[in-house]
């Protein structure tokens, strides 16, 4: 067998989110209908009844209202069976006192995992890595984050990226490194001499150079 990585077509940022039907802990869904007009954060975990996954899924559970306030639905996925998901949910409620309010896809055929490129054979040939997709209401993939099996994700960063996307969409701006909601945003670079002059004469901007200007929202 060759050591070359297999070339698989993976969804990329800007691509339409592939649609699918799947069995979940909240019944069968057609993804596009379930999503409706919301943003979605879809995240895969390697396996039920494992420690890091338990911390991640309960953290998303505890904070699901914060995502709902951002018009965002959460949905989990792994290749475990629906029976395993249901039993794990009960167990998490017993040991950590957290009820998972979002659906979890039981992708035992790996159909959805393959569609979204969540199986990375160099990391594991059998289970999904920690993949996370932020999908906008037009069902376009806007952010993709991959983490390995042994490192848990940062829910604060997922929420920050989501708010940054919503802020850039609403205001036609960009968000700088380590940006937090409420901080200044980046004014997109000028495209014409006139735009350069306009920004240089705008006293409300923080001007570091003509191409690097920040403003309050
Ligand atoms: C975990 O969630 O702890 C885990 C799952 C799969 C591989 C390694 C760690």
DSSP string covering the chain, please? ---SPP------TTSBPPP-EEEETTEEEEHHHHHTTSEEEEEE-S-TT-HHHHHHHHHHHHTHHHHHTTTEEEEEEESS-HHHHHHHHHHHHHHH-----S-EEE-TT-HHHHHTT---TTT-SSS--EEEEEE-TT-BEEEEEEE-TTS---HHHHHHHHHHHHHHHHHT-B--TT--TTS-EEEPPP-SHHHHHHHHT-TTSEEEETTEEEE--
Cα(179) to centroid(ligand 1), Å? 30
**Residue 165 placed within a domain:** no
53 is catalytic: yes
Q: Over the stretch 31-81, which tens digit does the pLDDT of each residue have?
A: 999 999 999 999 999 999 999 999 999 999 999 999 999 999 999 999 999
Cα(175) to centroid(ligand 1), Å? 33
Does 205 lie in the same domain as 178? yes
The pLDDT score that the predictor gives to residue 7 is 58
Cα(58) to centroid(ligand 1), Å? 15
**Residue 132 placed within a domain:** yes
Domain membership of residue 28 as a residue range: 21-153
The pLDDT score that the predictor gives to residue 9 is 72
Residue 139 has pLDDT above 50, yes or no: yes
Q: Over the stretch 6-22, which tens digit does the pLDDT of each residue have?
A: 656 789 999 999 999 99
For atom 7 of ligand 1, the residue with the nearest CA is 149
The pLDDT score that the predictor gives to residue 10 is 86
Please identify, among 153, 184, 203, the residue that sits at the C-terminal boundary of a domain: 153
Residue 1 has pLDDT above 50, yes or no: no
Q: Over the stretch 149-204, which tens digit does the pLDDT of each residue have?
A: 999 999 999 999 999 999 999 999 999 999 999 999 999 989 999 999 999 999 99
CATH number at residue 139: 3.40.30.10
pTM: 0.95
Phi, psi angles (nearest 5°) of residue 32: -60, -40
CATH number at residue 211: 3.30.1020.10
Residue 137 has pLDDT above 90, yes or no: yes
Residue 3 has pLDDT above 70, yes or no: no
Does 202 lie in the same domain as 129? no
The pLDDT score that the predictor gives to residue 67 is 99
The pLDDT score that the predictor gives to residue 8 is 61
Considering 17, 41, 42, 53, which one is annotated as catalytic? 53
The pLDDT score that the predictor gives to residue 211 is 92
> What residue ranges line ligand 1, CB within 6 angstroms?
46-47, 50-53, 149-150
Atom nearest to 124 CA in ligand 1? 7
Total number of domains constituting the chain: 2
Residue 141 has pLDDT above 80, yes or no: yes
């Amino acid at each position: 067998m060759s050591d070359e990585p297999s070339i698989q077509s993976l969804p990329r940022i800007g691509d339409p989110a592939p649609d699918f039907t799947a069995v979940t802990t909240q019944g069968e869904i057609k993804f596009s209908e379930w999503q409706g007009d919301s943003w979605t954060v879809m995240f895969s975990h390697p396996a039920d009844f494992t420690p890091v996954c338990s911390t991640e899924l309960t953290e998303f559970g505890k904070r699901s209202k914060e995502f709902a306030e951002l018009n965002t639905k959460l949905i989990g996925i792994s290749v475990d069976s629906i029976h395993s998901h249901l039993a794990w949910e009960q167990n998490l409620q017993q040991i950590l006192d957290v009820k998972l309010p979002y659906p979890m896809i039981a992708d035992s055929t790996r159909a959805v995992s393959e569609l979204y490129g969540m199986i990375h054979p160099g990391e594991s040939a059998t289970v999904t890595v920690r993949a996370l997709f932020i999908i906008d209401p037009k069902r376009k993939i806007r952010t993709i984050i991959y983490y390995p099996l042994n490192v848990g994700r940062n829910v604060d960063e997922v929420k920050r990226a989501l708010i940054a996307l919503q802020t850039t969409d609403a205001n036609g701006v960009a968000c700088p490194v380590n940006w937090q909601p409420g901080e200044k945003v980046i004014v997109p670079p000028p495209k014409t001499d006139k735009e350069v002059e306009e920004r240089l004469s705008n006293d409300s901007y923080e001007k570091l150079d003509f191409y690097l200007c920040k403003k309050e929202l």
